[in-house]
Structure 1
Amino acid sequence: MILPHFAEIASGIGGTGVGGLIIGAFGHRKAKADAAAVLTATAMSLVEPLKEEIGDLTKQLGTVRGELGTVRAELSAHKGATERREAARQQALSAHTEWDTQMADRLRAAGVDVPEPPPLDVAS
């Protein structure tokens, strides 16, 4: 280490005079460097767990986004199936209503007294 050599030089120069100042200056710098090293080590010990947690959360976010994509695709498929069923139901309802009215008219023409067919459309 360099500091013991400074101590020898300082004692040779004159004890606490210029040698003391040199040792004091280098000792102060060393203390600052040691403090900086402690702060750096402390910061790293705090940052490392946060980096790991961010990594875990990033992985979880990727999983959740994948699941969300699957759910959206399934929802879209269900919506499409529901829309197709509703269109088919509306078409069948329209055809059935027309057929009911035609049959009631034919029966009346044949002399049979029948009431108007009831409405098939029900409020959802």
Structure 2
Amino acid sequence: MDKNKVYEELKVLRTNAYVPYSKFRVACIIYLKNGKKIEGVNVENAAYNPTICGERTAVSQLVTQGYNKDDVELLALYTDSEGVGSPCGTCRQTLIELLNPDQKIWIFNINEFSGEYTLEYFLPLSFTKTDLG
């Protein structure tokens, strides 16, 4: 997968974010092994609590469309930051529930590619369904 193409797609998608309060846009594209893409952006709300991040918007669509963690090739994330804009805690917990711990994640900021990570890198010692035993 071409990082420059992914970055350009994320920059276009970010314009769909609804961020009248923070002005901080987040875009997420989940690339599936079958070549399809699932997109998500952050959608804010004046009450803040109903706000949903781009990652959770995309992964909700993944589930809604009948796909699962084994269908995912790459999760690409863009944030309006100058450094590494990693997923928030709520997103990390949601992603660890619905994706594989070794899921490859590419992160981009306003200027460039920030790095390649795995989901378990962002949430070591995560709380999962096995902990509910």
Higher normalized contact order (CA 8 Å, seq sep 6+, divided by chain length): 2
Which has the larger share of helix? 1
Which has the larger share of strand? 2
Which TM-score applies when normalising by structure 2?
0.18
